[in-house]
């Protein structure tokens, strides 16, 4: 069924600009969360392994932010999810 000529088609979904803004914001939120978790974990135990896991996660959050700023939002989202799951999984598995 086609729309009448006088009706405007309403776009569905986000514009690329909105998607970039959301992904960059998500990256900053996860980055701040990882920094907070690093600070809390370092108060509990002074482990180089903990610093490495969260340090790598913070670094990769920065990469996600840059990917999103340059229009690679899907890749940034996948990487953000992988980083979050890997960091929390490593924190749970490692002593």
Q: Is the pLDDT of residue 95 over 80?
A: no
Integer-rounded Cα radius of gyration of the chain = 19
Q: Are 53 and 91 in contact (CB under 8 A)?
A: yes
pLDDT at 3: 56
Q: pLDDT, tens digit, for every residue of 68-92?
A: 888 887 888 888 888 888 888 887 8
- Angle between helix 73-93 and 16-44 (nearest 10): 20
Alpha carbon distance, N-terminus to C-terminus of the chain: 60
Q: Give residue 2's pLDDT.
A: 61
Q: Measured between alpha carbons, how far is 6 from 26 in angstroms, rounded to an integer?
A: 39
pLDDT tens per residue, range 21-71:
888 888 889 889 888 888 888 888 777 887 888 888 888 888 888 888 888
């Amino acid at each position: 069924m086609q729309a009448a000529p006088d009706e405007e088609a309403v776009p569905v979904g986000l514009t690329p600009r909105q998607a970039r803004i959301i992904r960059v914001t998500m990256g900053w939120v996860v980055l701040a969360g990882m920094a907070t978790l690093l600070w809390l974990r370092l108060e509990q135990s002074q482990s180089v392994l903990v610093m490495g896991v969260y340090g790598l996660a913070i670094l990769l959050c920065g990469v996600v932010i840059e990917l999103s700023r340059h229009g690679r939002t899907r890749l940034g989202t996948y990487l953000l999810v992988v980083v979050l799951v890997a960091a929390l999984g490593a924190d749970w598995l490692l002593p």
